[in-house]
């Protein structure tokens, strides 16, 4: 048998819509020894992780824990556990991930209604309230920042609207948690899920989630512990069985509680990663972290504008961690991305759906939301665009970006 080469990935700077570079402290945490899932040292790590994520989600919710899987594992867990067949769900769609919420909702047997706006815009709260009045859903499911369009839906008023109409509010904060303000309790969000690979600068593979009691109580009605683990004396819920075993939040809550129900084997290494992501975010301080993301975005936008490039979408609602850039006429967008990757080791994102071939997406989140990353990206883009026939005033992008930092 021939010995295979040691698999060393090429060196990259990941500045697409995610994943972005992991913080080296997160990678270090992932090299820590495994523990048995009921080892007191490991259950203490689970409890500590719950407390840390209460900080990150800005919530007092007891039920704040991790679902193993990428961000959509968190989405599926909430939707399959909350929505009973035939329940109505309303989704405001302003990009690809609104469609994903609808798709998952339909798969779990809900009746799904959506309102749609053109990619590049968001909804006024009144439009969402009108739709709630019309549809009378059980659940409003909304994306916070949709990386496909780089837009962030304002959510501050949506929770109060939902309470007024007795609707549950679920928010997909995959792309914003830890980089953009999202005070779950202050905004009356009933359930919120995320991923690690964006503003938290971890690897994809763990979905932090938080649920308030209003929502957790409804899920508890559907508690049907799997046979083989069930305590014959414990009463089962009177609601319908949750259609997924893996994503059954009623059982997952028992696993993350002091009962330590023997459900799945917790993904030890991903828990270490998630815990470290939260520790790093809280050690920096959320307000400082949000300000850092805003400043980096400002610098990137100033640099792009100085190069004569146009930023995509409604500027007032642009995410602070992903920026869409119109591909200039006559420039081959994929060739530019190829050159950035192969000549500079920098990855930026392409687009899909109605934006396919029209914009690039540049991520500045978590570990890559820095002056250095913006500077490297602008310098490389400038050089590549020049070779591809688009001549911006030399160094204009870098100078404008650095001026933003100098003015800080």
Ligand X SMILES: Cc1ncc(COP(=O)(O)O)c(C=O)c1O
Cβ closest to ligand X, residue 192 vs residue 381? 192
Cβ closest to ligand X, residue 360 vs residue 390? 360
Min dist. Cβ of residue 18 to ligand X (A): 5
Min dist. Cβ of residue 82 to ligand X (A): 17
Min dist. Cβ of residue 138 to ligand X (A): 21
Cβ closest to ligand X, residue 38 vs residue 352? 352
Cβ closest to ligand X, residue 37 vs residue 153? 153
| 3-state per-residue secondary structure call for the chain | CCCCCCCCCCCCEECCCCCCCCCHHHHHHCCCCCCCCCCHHHHHHHHHHHHHHHHHHCCCCCEEEEEECCHHHHHHHHHHHHCCCCCEEEEEECCHHHHHHHHHHHHCCCEEEEEECCECECCCHHHHHHHHHHHCCCEEEEECEECCCCEECCCCCHHHHHHHCCCEEEEECCCCCCCCCCCCCCCCCCEEECCCCCCCCCCCCEEEEEECHHHHHHHHCCCCCCCCCCCCCCCCCCCCCCCCCCCCHHHHHHHHCCCCCCCCCCCHHHHHHHHHHHHHHHHHCHHHHHHHHHHHHHHHHHHHHHCCCCECCCHHHECCCEEEEECCCCCCHHHHHHHHHHHHCEECECCCHHHCCCEEEEECCHHHCCHHHHHHHHHHHHHHHHHCCCCCCCCHHHHHHHHHHHCC
Min dist. Cβ of residue 53 to ligand X (A): 17
Cβ closest to ligand X, residue 182 vs residue 378? 182
Min dist. Cβ of residue 4 to ligand X (A): 29
Min dist. Cβ of residue 174 to ligand X (A): 4
Min dist. Cβ of residue 198 to ligand X (A): 7
Cβ closest to ligand X, residue 37 vs residue 174? 174
Q: Which residues here bind ligand X, judged by CB under 6 A?
A: 18, 70-72, 97, 143, 146-147, 172, 174-175, 195, 204
Cβ closest to ligand X, residue 108 vs residue 385? 108
């Amino acid at each position: 048998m021939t010995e295979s080469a040691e698999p060393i990935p090429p060196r990259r700077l990941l500045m697409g819509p995610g994943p972005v570079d992991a913080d080296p402290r997160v990678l270090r945490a992932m090299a820590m020894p495994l523990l048995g899932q009921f080892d007191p040292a490991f259950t203490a790590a689970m409890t500590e992780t719950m407390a840390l994520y209460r900080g990150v989600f800005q919530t007092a919710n007891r039920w704040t824990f991790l679902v193993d899987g990428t961000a959509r594992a968190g989405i599926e867990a909430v939707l399959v556990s909350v929505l009973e067949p035939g329940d109505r769900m309303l989704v405001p769609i302003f990009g690809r991930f609104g469609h994903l919420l609808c798709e998952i909702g339909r798969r779990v047997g809900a009746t799904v209604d959506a309102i749609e706006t053109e990619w590049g815009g968001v909804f006024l709260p009144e439009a969402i309230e009108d739709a709630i009045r019309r549809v009378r859903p059980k659940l409003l499911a909304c994306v916070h920042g949709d990386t496909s369009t780089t837009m962030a839906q304002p959510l501050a008023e949506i929770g109060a609207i939902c309470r007024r109409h007795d609707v549950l509010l679920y928010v997909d904060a995959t792309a914003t948690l830890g980089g953009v303000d999202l005070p779950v309790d202050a905004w009356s969000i009933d359930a919120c899920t995320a991923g690690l690979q964006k503003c938290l600068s971890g690897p994809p593979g763990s979905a932090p989630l938080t649920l308030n009691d209003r929502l957790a109580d409804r899920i508890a009605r559907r508690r049907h512990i799997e046979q083989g683990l069930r305590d014959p004396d414990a009463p089962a819920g009177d609601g319908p069985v949750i259609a997924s075993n893996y994503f059954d939040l009623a059982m997952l809550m028992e696993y993350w509680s002091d009962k330590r129900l023997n459900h799945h084997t917790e993904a030890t290494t991903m828990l270490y990663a998630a815990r470290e992501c939260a520790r790093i975010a809280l050690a920096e301080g959320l307000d400082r972290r949000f300000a850092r993301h805003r400043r980096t975005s400002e610098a990137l936008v100033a640099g792009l504008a100085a190069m004569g490039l146009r930023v995509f979408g409604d500027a007032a609602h642009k995410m602070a961690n992903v920026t869409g850039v119109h591909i200039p006429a006559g420039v081959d967008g994929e060739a530019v991305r190829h050159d950035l990757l192969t000549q500079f080791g920098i990855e930026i994102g392409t687009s899909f759906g109605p934006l396919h071939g029209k914009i690039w997406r540049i991520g500045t989140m978590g570990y890559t939301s820095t002056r250095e990353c913006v500077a490297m990206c602008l310098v490389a883009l400038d050089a590549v665009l020049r070779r591809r026939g688009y001549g911006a005033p030399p160094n204009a992008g870098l100078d404008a970006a650095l001026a933003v930092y100098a003015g800080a």
